[in-house]
Amino acid sequence: MFGIKGWIKVYSFTDIREDIIRYSPWLLCKADGSQSVEVLDGALQGKVLIALLKGINSRTEAEALVGWDIFIRQEQLPKPAQGEYYWSDLIGLNVQTSQGVKLGVVEDLLETGANDVVIVSGDRERAIPFLQGQTILSIDLAVGTMIVDWDPEF
């Protein structure tokens, strides 16, 4: 919580921390329920992100939101450009080599700094660098496949 007028402190996982403010409404979730709230304002103050939510007007109301998780609906996100993907869209894709050898499904993606890595779970777990045009040859979200240039023995 922040201040006496209902402003709350927020920890954001968005790439640019304060971008979470643009995605209104938020769906706040906790083990015992959820609620939709409209974001009225927000700002980065030093290292702290603060937000003002509609209907939260006091410190007591702000304190009641401690521990809630913030979600947005996928349709609130901007459409990715050609050749760009949201990680959540890649999870579950069937992965196979350009020769048709099935490797498994995308279980996760990792950000390593140098390049992202696709974790493929199949007969064994594989970590494939996410290098479009090199190791990642094609992605077809409609069909649910990712074609890779990868040695199945590796």
Q: Is the full-model pTM beyond 0.85?
A: no
- Which residue blocks in 1-154 are alpha helix, DSSP H? 59-63, 87-90
**How big is the CA angle at 149 (ends 146 and 154), to the nearest 5 degrees?**
105
Give the pLDDT confidence score for residue 67 in this predicted structure: 93
Of all residues in the chain, what percent carry a pLDDT higher than 70?
97
CA-only gyration radius of the chain, Å: 20
What confidence tens digit (pLDDT) does each residue in 67-76 have? Answer: 999 999 999 9
Give the pLDDT confidence score for residue 2 in this predicted structure: 59
List of domains in the chain: 8-76 (2.40.30.60), 87-148 (2.30.30.240)
**How big is the CA angle at 38 (ends 34 and 40), to the nearest 5 degrees?**
145
Is the per-residue pLDDT at 48 higher than 50? yes
What confidence tens digit (pLDDT) does each residue in 52-86 have? Answer: 999 999 999 999 999 999 999 999 999 999 999 99
